[in-house]
Amino acid sequence: MSREPKKLTKEQRKELDKFDERFGIKHFDKQGMPMKMADFVEKFEDWNYRMIENYFGPFCRVSTIWLGIDHGFGESDKPLIFESMVFILGREEDMDRYYTLSEAQEGHKRLVKKYFWRADLLVRNFILFTFGYLIPSIIKRMLGERDGDSDTTEPEDDGDTGIPV
């Protein structure tokens, strides 16, 4: 479902221009060209402009978006304005940032290829752990058994403190 991005009023644009002048934060379009904060705000509201690629696999998601603000924080002469994030079972797994749109698209494809099968292995291992160790361990505890022995004898008392040894 797509929603229409908001358009700023002249007053809002004027206030944002003051913010630009005061704080000097630089904003960039998808081509890496500087843009005014008001233009950035409008573009940032437009999900179709922001979203570069979005892959939903069986257990993973790879999302690549335009950030519009240099996330390299001035450490390079080019702004890092794109980001890919990998989520496996909803948890953040990896992240890469890019200078150009073409780098972002290539990086996205690389991450999809890298994590698609890895996510399947993660889920397989989760299932093996859950049904191979966790559930049997819970059942043993419910039956009063300790891990490592099926004997349900009472623990020894050291006679002094009443603390089981």
| Proportion of the chain above pLDDT 70, given as a percent | 81
The predicted pLDDT at position 96 comes to: 96
Give the global pTM.
0.67
Residue 126: enclosing H or E segment and its boundaries?
A: helix 101-129
Which residue, 89, 4, 16, 11, is CA-closest to 47?
4
Domain map (residue ranges) of the chain: 46-142
Report how far Cα 159 is from the mean position of its chain's Cα atoms: 55
Name the one residue in this structure whose structure tokens are 């570069």: 52
Type of residue numbered 82: F
143: left (phi over 0), alpha (psi -120 to 50) or beta: alpha
Mapping DSSP to helix (H, G, I), strand (E, B) and coil, where does residue 48 land? helix
**Average pLDDT of 83-90?**
89
The predicted pLDDT at position 95 comes to: 95
Q: What confidence tens digit (pLDDT) does each residue in 108-148 have? A: 999 998 887 776 667 777 777 777 777 888 888 888 876 55
Which residue, 81, 86, 45, 89, is CA-closest to 65?
81
